[in-house]
Amino acid sequence: MEKVKAEVVTHYRSELVEYLRANGSTFAYGDTGIRLAKEFGFCYGVERAIDLAYAARRHFPREQPVYILGEIIHNPHVNEQIRDMGVTFLSGSHKAADIEDLGKGDPVVIPAFGTEVKVNEMLKARGCTVIDATCGDVMSVWKRVRQNAREQVTSIIHGKAWHEETKATSSQAKAYENGHYLVVFDLDETDLVCRYITRGGDREAFLKKFEGATSDGFDPDKHLGAIGLANQTTMLRGETEEVQRRLRAAMVEKHGEDAIAGHFRYFDTICGATQDRQDALRDLLSRPMDLLLVVGGYNSSNTSHLAEMGEGKLPTYFIKDASEIESAERLNHFLQHKQEMVIAENWLPLEGKLTVGITAGASCPNNLIEEVILHTYELRGAPASEVLGSIRAESAADMAQ
């Protein structure tokens, strides 16, 4: 791990981002100012996962394949880098093998999101050497839902049923024979559950609505009597807290305040890094800016929530990297609430003073942030060499004092 840390830093570091971090997260050159969120980019869990993937490839002989279950994190550049190092993917767009191809001793990296219990069991049955890069915050959620399962409390999971992390967490909710789970995506789905708790309803319609988001054998007439709320660690804290408030109110209405402890439990399992990035963006949005660029993978849950926060305040563009910026007249960006790419026309004013806000998801490397900033400056008439030259000159002057 120690040997690969320097290599990882070399691949993803940014001179400009490091300068911004050291100078109050603001920078201006010419008429263009940059405001960078105080917390952004790689978190500890992401860095650890990448380091483990690099270390696994370096540790085993070059002729021995090293496998990874799927994307190590939700950033295409990082996953391409790991693939190009010679790590073989078992799923996703880079898939080159199947679990059925694995044998005794084959090294397999489990990504930061974790994996389902049944996949773990398959790897053990095949005698694979497992390198577990599951984030510690994710495993903390697993501990809670396993406790729920052991005590026959149904886990209500606030998350995206299709997301790797939520799939892994859901599988932990079935760790004991009578364990069950139900995944709610948003407040509308939460309200459906609350109404069923307080009023009952059409059982078959309920199960159809939540098809693919419940455990096998889940019965809302039986399994909503005692519930415990958990969450995908990258959801919006405010929304999870509102899900908690509504579910608790429904259980109080159904069972009474005096009996609530036996029918409802809640643990705060939002990832600390996710919350730090949301808090930092909230602070950034309180400052004057003309537009916001959110950089990260389009399938990144924590990044999509950052974009969601910005969209309600000012023109916000969610882009995976600088290649989405074609010109000042055309920018390709992702609408996370519609799950589609769109084109923003005349998105970047070329005259007058402009302040651009920047943030990035927990799986976005610093070098991609730098490329976005420099490309924006170039469109505004300031070559990257001049911008970087100005920070080097200022840094040299500071050192000389």
Q: Are 277 and 296 in contact (CB under 8 A)?
A: no
The CATH number for 77's domain is: 3.40.50.11270
Q: Please report the pLDDT score of residue 281 as a whole number.
A: 97
Which residue in the list 39, 47, 71, 165 is annotated as catalytic?
165
Residue entry with tokens 């940059």: 34
pLDDT per residue over 36-51, tens digit each? 999 999 988 999 999 9
How far CA 275 is from CA of 40, 331, 373, in Å, comes to: 11, 28, 24
Q: Please report the pLDDT score of residue 139 as a whole number.
A: 95
pLDDT per residue over 45-86, tens digit each? 999 999 999 999 999 999 999 999 999 999 999 999 999 999
- Lowest-confidence segment of 2-16, 126-140, 176-190 by average pLDDT: 2-16
Q: Are 227 and 153 in contact (CB under 8 A)?
A: yes
128 and 149 housed in the same domain: no
Indicate the number of domains in the chain.
Answer: 3
Chain-wide mean pLDDT for the chain? 94
Annotated catalytic residue 329: no
Last residue within a domain, chosen from 270, 288, 304: 270
pLDDT band at 175 (very low <50, low <70, confident <90, very high): confident
Q: Phi and psi for 258 in degrees, rounded to 5?
A: -65, -25
Q: Please report the pLDDT score of residue 177 as a whole number.
A: 85
82 and 32 housed in the same domain: no
pLDDT per residue over 246-272, tens digit each? 999 999 999 999 999 999 999 877 788
Does residue 225 have a pLDDT over 70?
yes
Please give the residue range of the domain that contains residue 112: 44-135
Fill in the DSSP letter of residue 160.
Answer: -
6 and 56 housed in the same domain: no
Q: How far apart are CA 139 and CA 114, in angstroms?
A: 8
pLDDT band at 154 (very low <50, low <70, confident <90, very high): very high
Does residue 401 have a pLDDT over 70?
no
Q: How far apart are CA 298 and CA 295, in angstroms?
A: 9
Q: Are 39 and 277 in contact (CB under 8 A)?
A: yes
Last residue within a domain, chosen from 211, 241, 270: 270
Q: How far apart are CA 157 and CA 141, in angstroms?
A: 10
